[in-house]
Structure 1
Amino acid sequence: MLSWAALPFALSGCISLSPKPPAQLLTLTSSARIPVGGTQNSASAATIVIQNPLAAASLSGVRVPVQMGETAIAYVPKAQWVEPPSRLFQRMLAETVAARTGRVVLSNRQFNADPGAALQGELKSFGIDAGTKEAVVAYDGALTRKDPSVIEKRRFEARVPVAAIDALGSSAALNQAANQVAGEVADWVGK
């Protein structure tokens, strides 16, 4: 017979307050990379800070959303990002902009020391469209170049077919779509 003191330990193997994590976590990788050992210098290159994009609640977590018609959202089973997509996409944007434009991408703290351009935005879509079987990445960018009173806005969207709506198929297609959008944003910033 178990004592009252030992009961919580005996039950701890039976009760789980959180779901079992997936076998692997998903991430994004930029197809444009800064060379290892390369030096960037704000004295000889323009600077920019890239803010973490705003995102709807369906994109603020770590699950991969699937748009099921106009008004319903499900999630890809057993698929989980390593961190919210907006943070992953911000890092991809920073790497892509730096690699493709030569601009020095600064953090928020560094930006105060060397005000240059600023890119803010909203991640409108970052998931799977079940109806078209496509990965969809949509980003609304707001760019301030030199004059802080002048803001340029532009919408970017990429769609990539998904063979199967599962963790690996969805993440590969989303990575490809995110790289396409990041490349288009870099070209816009580099003008």
Structure 2
Amino acid sequence: MNRHYRNRLAHGLLAAVAALSISGCVSLGTKPPDELLKLTPEQSAPAGATASGQLTDAVVVLDPESDRGLDVLRVPVTVDAASLSYLKDALWVEKPTRQFRSLLAETLRARTGQLVVEGGDFEVTGKTLIGGRLLQMGYDAQKSAVVVRFDAVRSERGAGPLQTRRFEAVVNGVEAKAKPVGAALNQAANDVARQVADWVKAG
């Protein structure tokens, strides 16, 4: 084998090794999800609106609890009473519990006009604490419906025992595809947030 062919063979081997090294680090051809889902408040405080007061008088919205089936970026699909799957080609941009907290806080600002803050270090100082457990935020395959179910817990500083109430919204006739399910989830989550805000406003 002459020198020319040896050099071509060496260059070819080096290129193959480099390609294999890159393929180990980068996943080429992995299809991104068709839809990245986000909860968007249907009611927001208008631009320039302000609410002021002592932090001790604020409404504090805490992160809802959830089970592990909801504590992910995928959209759960209830197949039957004992089976859970996930919706194809759809991911949340952020965990649904955190998104629901922000949606609820913004809805409370819009519907109550009160000073509303989210989680963090405010839990021990707010006048009203709103927390709870997000029981369901996904698709029910048997009913072709989207369901959002939230067990709210409200406590008032110096005003008696905890109060709890279950809120739910269902959107029926939803096709099991990412785009219609995402729109229905946003609709149902806003419905629940309005119900909770009106409960808080009513005292």
TM-score normalised to the size of structure 1? 0.88
Note closer, same or farther for the CA distance 1:65–1:188 as it changes in structure 2 (3 Å cut). Answer: same
Give % identity. 37
Is it true that 1:70 corresponds to 2:81 in the alignment? yes
Tell me by how many angstroms 1:154 deviates: 0.6
Is it true that 1:31 corresponds to 2:42 in the alignment? yes
Note closer, same or farther for the CA distance 1:101–1:18 as it changes in structure 2 (3 Å cut). Answer: farther
Amino acid at match of 1:97: L
Give the match for residue 104 of structure 1: 115
Contact 1:162/1:169 (8 A) holds in 2:
no
For 2:98 and 2:119, locate their aligned partners in 1 and report how far apart those are by CA, in whole Å.
14
Contact 2:35/2:178 (8 A) holds in 1:
no
Structure 1 counterpart SS, 2:13: coil
Contact 2:41/2:103 (8 A) holds in 1:
yes
- Unaligned runs of 5+ residues in structure 1 are none
Give the match for residue 139 of structure 1: 150
Number of residues of Structure 1 aligned to a counterpart in Structure 2: 189
Contact 1:162/1:173 (8 A) holds in 2:
no
Amino acid at match of 2:77: V
Give the match for residue 11 of structure 1: 23
For 1:113 and 1:154, locate their aligned partners in 2 and report how far apart those are by CA, in whole Å.
22
- Unaligned runs of 5+ residues in structure 2 are 1-11
For 2:142 and 2:156, locate their aligned partners in 1 and report how far apart those are by CA, in whole Å.
39
1:183 to 172, 194, 203: 194
Amino acid at match of 2:106: E
For 2:118 and 2:138, locate their aligned partners in 1 and report how far apart those are by CA, in whole Å.
27
Note closer, same or farther for the CA distance 1:70–1:108 as it changes in structure 2 (3 Å cut). Answer: closer
Give the helix-richer structure, 1 or 2: 2
- Which portions of structure 1, spanning 4 or more consecutive aligned residues, are displaced by more than 4 angstroms? none
Across the aligned residues of Structure 1 and Structure 2, the Cα RMSD in angstroms comes to 2.5
